[in-house]
Amino acid sequence: MRTIFVSSLVAVVATLAAPAITAGAQRPSVRFVARDPITVRASGFHARERVRVTLTAPERRVRLVRTTAAGRFTVVFASVSYDRCTEGLAVMARGARGGVATAKLPQPQCAPA
C-alpha cells in the first residue's frame, strides 16, 4: 500500500513540475541593437550551436556564427548601406538544431524629399 502511495505522489509532483521546467526554456530571439554599423544580438539558442544569420537589406548578407555557452551571439554587418526612409531591414537567425528567430527594423516616417 505504501508503494502505491509513494508512486502516486511522485507522479503528481512530476506532473506539477513539468510546466515549471518547460517555462524556463527560452525560445530563440533576435533584435537590432545598432544601425551604423548594423549590429544584431540574439539569445535563446542552444549552447555552442552553429547559427546562420541572414540580413535582408537592399542586398542579402549571410554570416555563420557559433553561440556562446549561454546560447547568445552578436553579429556586426559592416559596410552595409541602405536608405532608412525607403528600404527596410530584416534579419533571420536559423540554428543548426532547428531554432529560428526573426526581426524587422521599423521604417520611420520620413519627410518627403
> Average of pLDDT values for 34-44?
94
pLDDT given at position 112: 76
Grid cell, residue 107, equals 521604417
Q: List the domain boundaries for the chain.
A: 23-105
Please give the model's pTM, rounded to 2 decimal places. 0.73
Q: Which CATH superfamily is domain 23-105 in?
A: Immunoglobulins (2.60.40.10)
pLDDT at 5 over 50: no
Give me the amino acid identity at 83: D
Q: Which residue has the higher pLDDT, 13 or 60?
A: 60
Grid cell, residue 65, equals 556564427
**Strand order across the 73-77 sheet:** 29-35, 38-43, 73-77
pLDDT at 46 over 80: yes
pLDDT at 25 over 70: no
State whether residue 99 is helix, strand or coil.
Answer: coil
